Structure 1
Amino acid sequence: MAKQTDRRINRTKRMIRDALSGLMEEKTFEEITVTDISQKADINRGTFYLHYQDKYDLLEQSESEIIKDIRNISKQSLQSVKILNGSIIDKPLPFVVNIFEYFKENAVFMKAILGPKGTGSFPIKFKSVLSENLKRIKKTIRADTLVPEEYLISYIVGAHVSVLQRWLASGMKETPHEMALILSKMTGMGPAYAAGLRKNERGI
């Protein structure tokens, strides 16, 4: 019975989150009311307040759940460090594929909070997670950077977030694997190589 209750609660919370996501495609977060969310989710206001104090609590809990999941996925990155020096232009890092798959599975909400009508708080949290992950990778590799580390990390993180936003906004035409490979080429070989302005170490 407990499992059935948990599933019902999770399903209701997902409906509420999806309702918020749908509304954020139409109006800004500040313009959205609990009544709007309840009507969109086809529930009464009482049901909403069983799970959230207000719309701000809904947004905070939803973002926290997403960040927690992304942190767990990012932990896999250290297992992928071994292949960083391999053929990165031919095979994407597994954890990057998993990130894109997760974004696709949660596309409605991700598109809303990363889109133009989002609050702006999630991109900051997301970039923080990516920065922490890159710093962990850097410590594991122990390689000397050619530019100040803080600028390098900022550059890579900004590029990753922008690519994810573009992919979501354009309808996710490419598969997660294809996107991870595109990102691996741009990150591993640099923009000049990706733009066809420079050959890689294999002369290709």
Structure 2
Amino acid sequence: MYHIKEDKRAKTSANMIYQGLSYCLKKKTFDKITITDIQQASTVGRATFYRGFDHLIDVLHWQCDCCFQDMTTIFFKNEVYKHKKEGLLLCFLDYWTEHSTILEQLLSINRVDIIYACHQKNSLTILDFFGKLQPLPNTSYEYFITIRSSIFIGILLVWIKHGKKETSSQLLHIISKQIDFIKDSYFYI
């Protein structure tokens, strides 16, 4: 678990640790990286590391959460995104096509579960916004979140697997076509 305080100094240290880990991931596999490696790459002391993180994986979890929070902030600040039916999806795709490093890092160490957990955690803020515009299904709320998380994350993982060739607009078009196909199909799966 991570414990980053809401002050500039703690966030700066956490970011330096993440940058150090990113550097190390270019040189070694995740399971071979030590806290000492992170110290040397980030110039942040061991005590500072443990003040913010319990384990090395927590650094990637924190960065993934930060990215999802950043994307959410962008969505709320951008009136164009907020007033289009596909606005949230487009914001999501625009953001991740520019900030895919953390997704690639988690994918490379088979920790897609962290991406899903961060998406589900941070989607609650956005769902509160949409809940004011349209009532959301109360009885199957977890399914509502899970379906959207699975679609969003699944699309990004395939995009990364295929070499990140498509733009966010092309991805939006692909998703729209697939949703239309599902709606018009004789089967859902």
Q: Same fold (TM over 0.5)?
A: yes
In structure 2, the residue matched to 1:151 is 143
Q: 2:170 aligns with which of 167, 170, 178?
A: 178
Q: Report matched runs for 1:130-141 at 5 Å.
A: 130-141=123-134
For the pair 1:72 / 2:70, whether they are aligned, the reply is: no
Secondary structure, aligned partner of 2:166: coil
In structure 2, the residue matched to 1:62 is 63
In the alignment, the residues of structure 2 paired with residue 100 and residue 23 of structure 1 have an alpha-carbon distance, to the nearest angstrom, of 29
Question: 1:174: how far off?
Answer: 0.5
Contact persistence 1:131–1:154 (CA under 8 A) = no
Contact persistence 1:78–1:137 (CA under 8 A) = no
Identity rate of aligned residues, in percent? 17
Secondary structure, aligned partner of 1:172: coil
Q: 2:117 aligns with which of 121, 124, 128?
A: 124
In structure 2, the residue matched to 1:87 is none
In structure 2, the residue matched to 1:108 is 101
Greater helix percent: which structure? Answer: 2
In structure 2, the residue matched to 1:52 is 49
In structure 2, the residue matched to 1:32 is 33
In structure 1, the residue matched to 2:4 is none
In structure 1, the residue matched to 2:23 is 19
Which amino acid in the other structure matches residue 167 of structure 2? T
Secondary structure, aligned partner of 1:52: helix
Could you say if the C-alpha distance between residues 74 and 142 of structure 1 is closer, same or farther in structure 2, counting changes exceeding 3 Å?
same
Question: 1:103: how far off?
Answer: 1.7
Which amino acid in the other structure matches residue 156 of structure 2? L
Structure ID, larger Rg: 1
In the alignment, the residues of structure 2 paired with residue 59 and residue 121 of structure 1 have an alpha-carbon distance, to the nearest angstrom, of 8
Superposed CA RMSD: 3.9
Q: RCO higher in 1 or 2 (8 Å CA, sep ≥ 6)?
A: 1
In the alignment, the residues of structure 2 paired with residue 137 and residue 108 of structure 1 have an alpha-carbon distance, to the nearest angstrom, of 29
Unaligned stretches of 5+ in structure 1?
A: 1-5, 85-92, 199-204
Could you say if the C-alpha distance between residues 76 and 159 of structure 1 is closer, same or farther in structure 2, counting changes exceeding 3 Å?
farther
In structure 1, the residue matched to 2:158 is 166
Unaligned stretches of 5+ in structure 2?
A: 1-8
For this pair of structures, how many residues does the alignment match? Answer: 170
Q: Deviations over 1:60-107 (max 9, x none)?
A: 5423422321221343688656443xxxxxxxx344333223223222
